[in-house]
């Protein structure tokens, strides 16, 4: 059972540390992948309750990874929050088109991200 497990697909160590700290005192269990291919493979293996997806990733972009996960019945309905630095470049629409459930533009407040997570995957 991994319903309170959150997969964070992110190649930036600073952002990984921030989310580790954010989730450390919650009921969520955090697992990580550091490139798009690993993200897809980990999601298919672990079937987490929610996925945080960076867009700019090595090997496979977060948008392509999101499309792959939406196309697989195992992961098609998992909430995916796509995170990007580029708030003004149309990435919000690209994220929606790829199948993202929600979109968070950097810089964001950790509290704001945690609220979005809790809305999509209740902690209790
Ligand atoms: Mg990145």
Per-residue pLDDT tens digits for 10-47? 999 999 999 999 999 999 999 999 999 999 999 999 99
Q: 10 CA to middle of ligand 1, Å?
A: 6
Please write the tens of the pLDDT for every residue from 42-71: 999 999 999 999 999 999 999 999 999 999
**What does the CA dihedral 90, 30, 47, 52 come to, rounded to 10 degrees?**
0
| Distance from the alpha carbon of residue 11 to the mean position of ligand 1, in angstroms | 5
How far away, in angstroms, is 98 Cα from ligand 1 center? 17
Distance (Å) from CA 121 to ligand 1 centroid: 24
Question: Average pLDDT, stretch 2-7?
Answer: 88
Q: Which DSSP symbol is given to 32?
A: E
Query: In whole numbers, what is the pLDDT of the chain averaged over residues?
Result: 93
pLDDT at 50: 98
Nearest to 83 by CA among 67, 69, 111, 63: 63
pLDDT tens, position by position, 73-91: 999 999 999 998 766 678 8
* Per-residue model confidence (pLDDT) at position 1: 45
Ligand 1 center from residue 14 Cα (angstroms):
11
What's the pLDDT at 88?
A: 63
User: Looking at domain 5-117, which of 3.30.70.20, 3.30.420.40, 3.40.50.2300, 3.30.1460.30 is its CATH number?
Assistant: 3.40.50.2300
With beta carbons less than 8 A apart as the criterion, state whether 22 and 46 touch. no
User: Cα of 123 to ligand 1 centre, how many Å?
Assistant: 26
CA of 124 to the centre of ligand 1 (A): 30
* Residues 22, 95: Cα–Cα separation, whole Å: 23
Q: What is the pLDDT of residue 89?
A: 72
Extents of the domains making up the chain? 5-117
């Amino acid at each position: 059972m991994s319903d309170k497990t959150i997969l964070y697909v992110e190649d930036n160590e600073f952002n990984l540390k921030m989310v580790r700290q954010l989730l450390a005192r919650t009921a969520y269990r955090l697992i990580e992948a550091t490139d798009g291919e690993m993200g897809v493979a980990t999601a298919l293996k672990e079937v987490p309750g929610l996925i945080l997806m960076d867009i700019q990733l090595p090997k496979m972009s977060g948008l392509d990874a999101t499309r792959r996960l939406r196309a697989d019945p195992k992961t098609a309905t998992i909430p995916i929050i796509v995170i990007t630095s580029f708030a003004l470049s149309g990435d919000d629409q690209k994220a929606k088109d790829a199948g993202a459930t929600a979109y968070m533009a950097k810089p964001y407040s950790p509290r704001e991200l945690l609220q979005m997570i809790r809305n999509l995957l209740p902690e209790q």
